[in-house]
Chain A
Amino acid sequence: MKLEVSNLSYSFYGRKVLREISFEIGEGEFLGLMGPNGSGKTTLLRCLTRYLPEATRAILVDMKPLHTLSDREVASTFAVVPQSSSTDFPFTVKDVVLMGRIPHIRSRIASTSRKDIEVVSAAMEVTGCASFADRPFSELSGGERQRVVIARALAQAPKALLLDEPTVYLDISGQLEMMDLVRRLNQEQSLTVLAVLHDINLAARYCDRIALLSQGSLEAIGPPEEVINSDTILNVYGVDVAVRKDPFTHDVFVMPRTVRSRASRDGMRVHVLCGGGSGGPVMRQLVDSGCSLSTGVLNVLDSDYECASDLQIPIVAEVPFAQISDEANDENLKRIDEASAVVVSRFPVGPGNFKNLEAAMYALDKGKRVMVMSGGGPPSIDFIGGKADAYIKRLVEAGATLVEDVEDLIRQLAGTEAVA
């Protein structure tokens, strides 16, 4: 089945819920539909199923405009799996799955045909609910019910499966089972799938393409690795995320940082000397407390480098695994000149990055405030036979302040600011 949506707009009481949405879904494709609450995802699904019948001219199913189809044809084109299903009435699982045949039974008088029963049995078999076919639907667990509803959807023999956040009420194993089942149907029966999903990582893992809606407009559409990046997620959701690739599957996944506005970064200028993963939490909390940061010198691929780039902090960078070059060091010192305080995180010191400690001494010479994170133990992680520890002692003697932890650091910095 080929589905084309061109310039679909929908208004509800004068409020534009969908604005000129255009996209296509090909046969057998698995498209994820994402976006914040209220961005129009469910409305889009309802336009497709004609539950909201006003916008049907913008939708083509296999080249046929949606408004030319009968109710039964629409119901045998799209089968819908809602977030959850419940009823106060004692339907059995079989009763519920049998409802999927309604669009195919033409006569009101006819009883259920042999073919209907075969289709229903096959649907229950595929979804694994044949074993509880006679149990009351209302007594099932959330995951079992969703499987029954998928069986009902299959009994409709649809061309496409529309899922509206099918996993919201399921635990993590239920979510994966559900998505695995949908993907299996998608691949084995080349059933086209359009799924509204809230979980970005789940979507990235299962979808061929992702469509990102924002305030009723289609913000982006494409493969997960193209659509999901920290800029689009920040634009659409207003959330800072780091985007990584799963080392095993190479699926992209996001790690949320914090909800914040980037505007409030005009606080005190602080330069952070770090490395080896020691600087991440320091930089994040300093950013949250409103400081304007820079950092260096960091090797590209160092996790502090990634962290700083996620936070969009200016970085003085060095090529991977290389010693700090003179050029990089000079740039680092220039950054220190611009800063009013320097923080030395508790980072591992070796011959390659010893210059970062020397940079701290440079800062003291320039009369900058220097904070050394002690973390309660020895201030550095010394890989050069005590030379680093000795150097830190000298820094403290020359006027650097030892701080316990990040909170202590922020308190001390606030004091500095008050003096300045």
Chain B
Amino acid sequence: MRTGTSKADAGQGRGHSSPFFRRNPVLFIILLGVLLLVSALVSVLVGTLGPIGPGHPERISFSQAVDALFGGGGDMYVTVFWELRIPRVLLAGLVGASLACAGTAMQAVFRNPMADPFIIGVSSGAAVGASSAGLLGLTALVGVAAPALAFVCALATVMVVYKMGTVGGRVYVDTLLLSGVALAAFLGAVVSFLIYFAGEDYHQLIPWLLGSLAAARWSYVAMIAVPAVAGTVTVLLFGRELNALLLGEETAHNLGADPEFLKKIMLMTAALMTAGAVAFCGIIGFVGLIVPHMMRIVVGADHRKLIPAATLFGASFLIWADALSRTVIQGEELPVGIITALCGGPFFLYLLRRSRGTGVMS
């Protein structure tokens, strides 16, 4: 999309020429798409049984790997690639995209660049669900029961937070934010309590609490794909209105957008996307917070460019993080949430320092 007026650019004497990708956002988004495809392909090849990654006695070559991708080279390879690796990479992409897109939407609804997808209590609610599943004897990370319970508890928590923040049909985002924080603290205590009594089952819960893609399977991919795709499309359709919302609810109203409807549909969509991601993969922090930030630096704040950029880059980001989690320690697998937090924390601090000069968190 080009909105540039040549006169405006010519009249700018202060060397305030906008960065290349800000003037060519479509090109940037296409590049992000290419990056995502390449990342997915590379990530499939990364791992203990793959041509890339730490040494292993049964390391295979590229040609063997490509062969296996097309069903050759024996049952074990087919299983590794088609039953484990490919669903896992797809899951990483969908979860990363969901978190980044939901994070962008939340930051717009709360008009606060510090907001993340978990701000309205999704993660704390899901944690209660997942840990009580352990206590109820439902094996935490196998099957559908535990994710289902996590999903339901996540949405129930969001409903409570939403009710607390809504007075007379109006959503008050400040109240919503504080309710989210308060409820998260309360539910954190509930989770601690449940873990205390979980005994041995506690160990099964750790990967979930730290965020992990290890349980990936095709059924998960299918179930997450629905909220991920539908949610992203929904958020995209409201790009213009989200822009207006960032200048205040009254301004949004005066520009013909309905801020109440907008807040409700965005909260609902982001909650569903996040709950889906959390239910299957646990609490993967920082993706939803920093990916929108990084993309804003490149394409600016306009949601019609920001949402596709953040969604695509969020997918790539989590795919890399997952590839790293599989390879960084030989023979071990780190929960991916540790990787995202290890990368995300320092990067976030860097952003904070960077924004001090301008007072703008971008």
Contacts and interface: CB of A to CB of B under 8 A. Distances in A.
B111 interface: yes
A134 to B, nearest CB: 5
A125 B251 CA distance: 22
B112 interface: yes
Contacts of B1: 111-112
Which of A85, A90, A124: most chain B CB closer than 10 A?
Answer: A90
Which of A108, A133, A156: most chain B CB closer than 10 A?
Answer: A133
Contacts of A248: none
Nearest to B253: A51
Given A90-B300, A95-B243, A109-B237, A76 B8 contact: no
Which of B4, B241, B244, B251: most chain A CB closer than 10 A?
Answer: B251
A138 interface: yes
A96 B13 CA distance: 21
Interface stretch (A56-64, A98-106, A334-342, A356-364): A98-106
Contacts of A95: 243, 300-302
Contact of B254 (A75, A87, A121, A131): A75
A94 B8 contact: yes
A89 B256 contact: no
Nearest to B241: A102
B297 to A, nearest CB: 8
Interface stretch (B150-158, B183-191, B330-338, B353-361): B353-361
Contact of A87 (B8, B9, B18, B111): B111
A75 B301 contact: no
A71 interface: yes
Contact of B302 (A91, A139, A156): A91
B243 A99 contact: yes
A135 B248 CA distance: 20
Contacts of A78: 254
Contact of B300 (A72, A91, A99, A130): A91
A103 B255 contact: yes
Contacts of B258: 71
Given A87-B247, A91-B301, A139-B360, A102 B7 contact: no
Contacts of B4: 94, 134
Contacts of B5: 117, 121, 124, 130, 133
Given A108-B237, A112-B3, A121-B5, A71 B16 contact: no
B63 interface: no
Nearest to A131: B11
A51 B254 contact: yes
A91 B243 contact: yes
A74 interface: yes
Which of B5, B250, B300, B361: most chain A CB closer than 10 A?
Answer: B5
Contact of A131 (B12, B248, B362): B12
B53 interface: no
A49 B237 CA distance: 25
Nearest to A49: B254
B362 A134 contact: no
Nearest to A81: B254
Nearest to A89: B301
Contacts of B111: 87-89
Nearest to A138: B360
Contacts of B359: 138
B7 A130 contact: yes
A232 interface: no
Contacts of B12: 131-135
B250 to A, nearest CB: 6
A102 B239 CA distance: 11
Interface string B240-268: 11011011101101111110000000000
A124 B113 CA distance: 28
Interface string B299-331: 011101000000000000000000000000000
Given A111-B1, A133-B8, A75 B256 contact: yes
Contacts of B302: 91, 95
A80 interface: yes
A48 B264 CA distance: 25
Contacts of A413: none
Contacts of A51: 250, 253-254
Nearest to B2: A117
B8 A88 contact: no
A75 B256 CA distance: 5
B112 A88 contact: yes
B82 interface: no
B256 A88 contact: no
A102 B255 contact: yes
B17 A90 contact: no
Contacts of B246: 87, 89, 91
A105 B254 contact: no
Interface in B275-291: none
Contacts of B296: 89-90
Contact of B9 (A50, A108, A134, A156): A134
A94 B241 CA distance: 16
B202 interface: no
A161 to B, nearest CB: 11
B240 A88 contact: no
Contacts of A91: 243, 246, 300-302
A53 to B, nearest CB: 10
Contacts of A132: 12, 16
B256 A102 contact: yes
12 contacts: A51-B253, A71-B256, A75-B256, A80-B250, A89-B111, A89-B113, A99-B244, A102-B241, A108-B237, A112-B1, A132-B16, A136-B360
Interface of A: 46, 49-51, 71-72, 74-76, 78-80, 82, 85, 87-92, 94-96, 98-100, 102-103, 105, 108-109, 111-112, 117, 120-121, 124-125, 130-136, 138-139, 156
Given A131-B11, A135-B12, 5 more contacts: A75-B256, A91-B301, A99-B244, A109-B237, A117-B2
